[in-house]
Amino acid sequence: MDITQMEQITPIQLYELMLKNHNVLMLDVRNEDEYEAWKIEGKFTPDTVNIPYFEFFENEDEAFSRVERDRPIVVVCAKGGASDFVALRLGEEGIKAANLSEGMIGWGNLYIHRVIVQTPEFEIYQIDRTARGCLSYVLISDGKAAIIDPLRHTEKYTDFLELKEASLALILDTHGHADHISGAPALSELTGAPYYLHPYDGIHPFDLLPAKLVYRMLHDGMKFSLGDLLIETVHVPGHTLGQVNFLVKAPSGRSFVFTGDNLFIQSFGRPDLGGQGQSWAPLVYNTIFNTVVERIPSDALVLPGHFAKHDEANEDGTYSKPLSALWKENEDLSRLNEKETFINFVLAHLPDMPEQYIQIKRINAGLAAPDEDEASELELGKNICALSTAYE
Amino acid sequence: MTDIAFDEQFDARGLMCPMPLVKSRQAIMKMEVGKTLKIVATDKGSVKDFQGWAKMAKDVELLAQEEEMEGDKKLFVHFVKKIK
């Protein structure tokens, strides 16, 4: 793709551009604080300059002097309007610039589907809302599908299942999410497929109110079959009290573990998003160094609920790693494997708790119903569910 | 409701970013120093944009910003004074 010939660039085109090394300059024309709060990142993040759009008519000469003329330029704003305006102004000055259509909103709503495994017996796909670092999964076997941790835009899943000619049999949340609005209740209502959540996450941890949701209750050891696949629930409280891992076994003996916000490729889920960091931090230690060690096969492929940084991805773009490799390559696991060290470190390095996480938890418990604007605003920015977001 | 005095009003309802600011600026440039323009917008993004713009532009001052309801629609009201 030659972006010097493009007037508009779509979110997926920008994503593909950033997969390879490039010489693009990103011109972000939002306000400084909006820019600081949430920037576009990719495997190869462009050099970026932040010049609010009104500087291009209020302080024109200086604004233009800050734009390098010899590189391809992509202009970005919140919704794509102001950036289009600036791209046209640049064009008038003889500077070629492409506008990111739909802006940060469109970028935030981009979902990437990746193949984890495709065999005649079963398929597993990783569905990545890449701007937010949120990962969800579709499992298919014998024409039946399960979705793990579906995100808010349910059509991203229903369209995909239609393409795969699979019918939705099971909707699973690894836990009650704080950073994003779950698509599970809406998918369940839409398709009639049952929604499973651990009941401990059916209580809002701050309001101490029971969820107003139609869901079925998970428990430790609970098993499901999906075609040739066997799914086992492993309760790993700590990030939330109802956090579970789903261990999935194929007839060939291959196994996969969907860890939600328990284990990530780098770091692990912070214990304080329910307001109880002190008492939940030891639980996180126990689940990782006891429950996971004892119950998850070391050759199981770990498939997490988030990534914090793009360099956690494999060469093929997927976020996954065998558990045996994770013990060595996940730096927080290898250096914090002693309980007291672990707890002290965790409590000394808790990231900020975004205020909107409490409201998102209300929505996920059915205690509040946002309109599209509120939902979109609550979900601005990257997740900060991993402990390491505090120090990296 | 406000009791801030204004001299002219610009209706930016229905305009999307960047137009509420672009058009308001055109209107204010035609006004005399010391006069105040009231802008009524429906674009929520205009709130931060007027703040950022007024901070950097030398010839205007953002006197106040308010929210009002018009039926079930939220209005974002800005009062901008031309000071130079």
**Quick one: A4 exposed, middle or buried, by C-beta within 10 A (0-12, 13-18, 19+)?**
exposed
Report pLDDT for B2: 62
Render pLDDT for A117-136 as a digit per residue (tens, 0 to 9): 999 999 999 999 999 999 99
Between chains, do A31 and B25 touch, taking CB under 8 Å as contact?
A: no
Q: Count the neighbouring beta carbons within 10 Å of the beta carbon of residue A307.
A: 23
Determine what percent of chain A is predicted with pLDDT higher than 90.
91
Average pLDDT of chain A is 95
All residues of chain A having their beta carbon less than 8 Å from the beta carbon of residue B56 are 52, 54-55, 58-59
Residue A83: pLDDT band (50, 70, 90) is very high
The answer to whether residue B1 scores a pLDDT higher than 70 is no
Banded pLDDT at A69 (limits 50, 70, 90): confident
* A129 beta partners: A111, A134
- The helix/strand/coil state of A151 is coil
Q: Is omega for the bond preceding B18 within 30 degrees of 0, making it cis?
A: yes
Q: Residue A4's pLDDT is what?
A: 81
Average pLDDT over residues A141-155: 98
Minimal Cβ distance to A79: which of B17, B21, B56: B17
Q: Could you tell me whether strands A244-249 and A255-260 are parallel, antiparallel, or unpaired per DSSP bridges? A: antiparallel
Positions of B annotated as catalytic residues are 17
The stretch A351-377 carries a mean pLDDT of: 93
**Which residue of A31, A57, A78 is in closest CB contact with B52?**
A31
Chain-chain contact of A53 with B18 (C-beta, under 8 angstroms): yes
Residue A210 sits at the chain B interface (C-beta within 8 Å): no
Kindly state the tokens that stand for A282. Answer: 């030891």
Q: Smallest Cβ distance to B49: which of A54, A57, A373?
A: A54
* H or E element, residue A342: helix A339-348
> Whole-model pTM?
0.92
Write down the residue that tokens 């509420």 correspond to. B20
Query: Among partner residues A32, A58, A79, which is closest to B53 by beta-carbon distance?
Result: A58
- Closest by CA to A176, choosing from A295, A273, A111, A287, is A273
For residue B44, list chain A residues with Cβ-Cβ distance below 8 A.
Answer: 373
> Residues of B numbered 31-50 whose beta carbons fall under 8 angstroms of chain A's beta carbons: which are they?
44-45, 48-49
Measured between CB atoms, does A391 come within 8 Å of chain B? no
Residues of B in contact with A81 (CB under 8 A): 16-19
Question: For A327-336, what is each residue's pLDDT tens digit?
Answer: 999 999 999 9
| Rg (alpha carbons) of chain A, rounded to whole number | 22
User: How far does the CA of residue A82 sit from the closest CA of chain B (Å)?
Assistant: 5
Give the minimum alpha-carbon distance from B27 to chain A in angstroms, rounded to a whole number. Answer: 14
Window A:9-38, CB contacts with B under 8 Å? 31-34
Q: B62 CB near a chain A CB, below 8 Å? A: no
Q: Give the residue from chain B lying closest to A102, CA to CA.
A: B17
Position A109, amino acid: N
A212-268, pLDDT tens digit by residue?
999 999 999 999 999 999 999 999 999 999 999 999 999 999 999 999 999 999 999
Q: Which of B16, B26, B49 to substitute to test the interface with A, most A CBs within 10 Å?
A: B49
Complex-level ipTM? 0.92
Summarize pLDDT for A35-45 with one digit per residue, the tens.
998 999 999 99
